[in-house]
Structures are given as structure tokens and as C-alpha cells.
Amino acid sequence: MRVVIQRVSHASVTINGQCKSAIASGMLILVGIEESDSTEDIEWLCKKIVNLRIFDDEEGVMNKSILDTHGEILVISQFTLHASTKKGNRPSYIKAAKPTHSIPLYEQFCKELAIALGKEIGTGEFGADMQVELLNDGPVTICMDTKNKE
């Protein structure tokens, strides 16, 4: 699994002109799933995400986690995170998992992340045409891939 985590002041996702989810201060997480991903990847990522110290403490040092700040999370599925641009100018998405594999993992990731956070999270809609709006705070953007755990 590959994620892009952005520390945000606020974020929202709109589908067909309707706001599906909106959060205040916290994290916007874009998640891409490939065929080799499993529940082990979900467990590792969820633990890592809620404990990432990317929020400022009283001294302005990134020393607090989202658990410490009681922030919110918005998760958006994004198969384009697995784009390959090695050949030509049109990205290939061959590494991205098919919906039959990725939808259950996406849903489980969201469920496990909500449990790890201790509250509900916002989500987009898998496969939908979504408009994502955010105010990146910092800016702070972290990329993580479960294939590079070590």
C-alpha cells in the first residue's frame, strides 16, 4: 500500500456537487492499493499513521501525533499513486489492484484507521470522480509505502 499523508488545516471531498466528508485540522490521506497488498500492510500503516509525530508542540517542533492533537482524518482512494511513468508520456496503472481486491482492503483500512484513531474518519467514495479540497499546513507531506518498511 502506498499513502501520501498531508497535514491539513481543513480538507473536504465533494462528489457530484455534494460534500461527502469534511474535516478540520488533521490529516488528508491518499491511499493506493496494489495486488500484493494485504491486511498486514493495513495493520502496519494504521499504527504508523496515528503515531507519526508531524504536529507542532508548544515550542513549534513537530513532536505530536494526531492522537495527541485529537485531529481528524480524511481518507481518499487513489489508484494513480501506483502510476508508472517509465515508458512514454501516458502513465500506466498496471500495478494498481483491481476493484475486487482493492475495495475490501480500502474499506478495511478505513475501519482499522478509525479504530486506531479512536473516532470516525471521513472518506471519499471508491472509484468516484471526486473533487478534493485542502489547505496543506506547513506544508507537511509524507509519502509511505509498505513495500519499503525497512
Q: Is 80 a catalytic residue?
A: yes
Verify whether residue 18 is a known catalytic residue.
Answer: no
Concatenating the DSSP letter of every residue in the chain gives: -EEEEEEEEEEEEEETTEEEEEESSEEEEEEE-BTT--HHHHHHHHHHHHH---EE-TTS-EEE-HHHHT-EEEEEE-GGGG-B-SSSSS-B-TTBPPHHHHHHHHHHHHHHHHHHHTS--EE--TTS-EEEEEEEEEEEEEEEEGGG--
Catalytic residue chosen out of the listed positions 14, 18, 69, 80: 80
Residue tagged active-site, from 78, 109, 123, 146: 78
The catalytic position among 6, 18, 39, 79 is: 79
Q: Which residues are catalytic?
A: 78-80
